[in-house]
Amino acid sequence: MLTKEQLIEQINILRKQKNAVIMAHYYQRAELQDIADFVGDSLALARQAAKTDADIIVLCGVHFMGETAKIICPNKKVLIPDPNAGCSLADSCQAKDLALFKEQHPDYMVVSYVNTSAAVKALTDVVVTSSNALKIINQLPPEQKILFAPDKNLGNYINSVTGRNMYLWDGACHVHSRFSIEALLQLKKEYPNAKVLAHPECKKIILDIADVVGSTEALLNYVKNSDENMFIVATESGILHKMQSFCPQKTFITVPPEATEIEVNGKLTPCSCNECEYMRLNTLEKLYECLRDEKYEIKVEHYLARQAIKPIERMLQMS
Ligand code: 13P
Ligand code: SF4
């Protein structure tokens, strides 16, 4: 087995040899964020994929992020280190159910969060991420009927800020849905001067008391530019790595989850933190094997990719 230093050395050799770019989401393990050429939120990763001239894109994130990169760059090889890195939110909207909704509601425009499969994107009119959702929804005609899928928490938040009445798909992210409001209120009592930062995938009860609601990138920017010194953070704890490295003198406290056990793939699994177990499947060792063996390659059927690129391009134009 290679040591951490040897893995880093091999990854550095392989990425040069193969003209590969390594991109990582803010929820990735610290060592993956550190070795990546680019770290960003979902929107930034999509934008970066659109402009890279690398032959291989290694996406350290979850499956839908790799799929988005592949749809944007159909002629490049897109790899993810672990093929099981899924997303509970993307799973909560199946293409066949969305197709049925569209059949029954032909007057609705479909706006989908980027956390969706290629098949769902192919049925979508415009894709949004948590960074650009408000901006894009505000550009749509006020009288337009909209289905927002699949995150009901983000959808509800957009409705409350924009005054729209979008119909919401009944989906949610299991990580962001499980933050404990009791624990958050207790933390606020203990640290009255701390600012509460929340990702819009959190439940309304959490968002209602947050001082700042935003995408991973927006929360990071807030921390960097703020004069405040203490923050209570309601999102996946991987973001703390960048927050702490940009602002080593500031204090970050994570909000604990409600339960100590959660259901993953139908099995009760111990949970004592606010990590996304899908994101955490990727490791330095898997990244090395991914580059060495050029696995696991993301494939998207041509006919799906041709449909799915349209709402992604629309998003990139509108954001
Ligand atoms: P961002 O778009 O804020 O990076 O969020 C992606 C995600 O999966 C949040 O759970
Ligand atoms: Fe999906 Fe939630 Fe994990 Fe983000 S944190 S990748 S929405 S399961």
155 CB-near residues (< 8 Å, 6+ apart) = 148, 149, 166, 168, 169
Q: What pLDDT, on the 0 to 100 scale, is given for residue 230?
A: 98
If pLDDT is split at 50, 70 and 90, which confidence band does 28 have? very high
Share of the chain above pLDDT 70, in %: 96
The pLDDT assigned to 114 comes to: 97
Mean pLDDT of the residues in the chain: 95
- Show the ligand 2 pocket: residues with CB < 6 angstroms: 62, 87-89, 115, 173-176, 201, 236, 276, 278-279
Q: How confident is the model at residue 124 (pLDDT cuts 50, 70, 90)?
A: very high
Angle between helices 302-318 and 42-51 (to 10 degrees): 110
Which atom of ligand 1 lies closest to the CA of 87?
8
- List, for residues 210-267, the tens digit of each pLDDT value: 999 999 999 999 999 999 999 999 999 999 999 999 999 999 999 988 866 666 667 7
* Residue 293: Cβ-neighbour burial (10 angstroms; 0-12, 13-18, 19+): exposed
Residue 63 has pLDDT above 70, yes or no: yes
The DSSP H or E segment spanning 156 is helix 152-162
pLDDT in tens, 37-49: 999 999 999 999 9
Strands annotated E in 67-198: 77-79, 109-113, 126-128, 146-149, 167-168, 195-198
**Amino acid identity at 283:** T
CA of 6 to the centre of ligand 2 (A): 30
What amino acid occupies position 278? Y
Note the Cα 18 to chain centre separation in Å.
27
- pLDDT at residue 295 in the model: 98
Q: Does residue 30 surpass a pLDDT of 90? A: yes
Q: Is the pLDDT of residue 272 over 60?
A: no
Best residue among 64, 87, 91 to mutate for probing ligand 2's pocket (most ligand atoms within 8 Å of CB) is 87
- Using one digit for the tens of pLDDT, what is the confidence trace for 129-172? 999 999 999 999 999 999 999 999 999 999 999 999 999 999 99
Q: Whose CA is nearest to atom 6 of ligand 2?
A: 87
User: Model-level pTM?
Assistant: 0.94
- pLDDT at res. 260: 62
Please check whether residue 60 is in contact with residue 86, taking contact to mean a CB–CB distance below 8 angstroms. Answer: no
Q: Of all residues in the chain, what percent carry a pLDDT higher than 90?
A: 93
pLDDT confidence of residue 268: 73
Yes or no: say if 178 and 166 are a contact pair by the CB < 8 Å rule.
no
pLDDT band at 271 (very low <50, low <70, confident <90, very high): low
pLDDT at 84: 97
pLDDT tens, 176-198? Answer: 999 999 999 999 999 999 999 99
Written as six digits, the tokens of 296 are 């696991």
Who contacts 145 (Cβ-Cβ below 8 Å, separation ≥6)? 105, 107, 108, 109, 167
Residue 294 backbone class (left: φ over 0; alpha: ψ -120 to 50; beta: rest):
left
- Cβ–Cβ < 8 Å for 66, 78: yes
Q: Which residue has the tokens 């939110």?
A: 89
Length of the chain equals 319
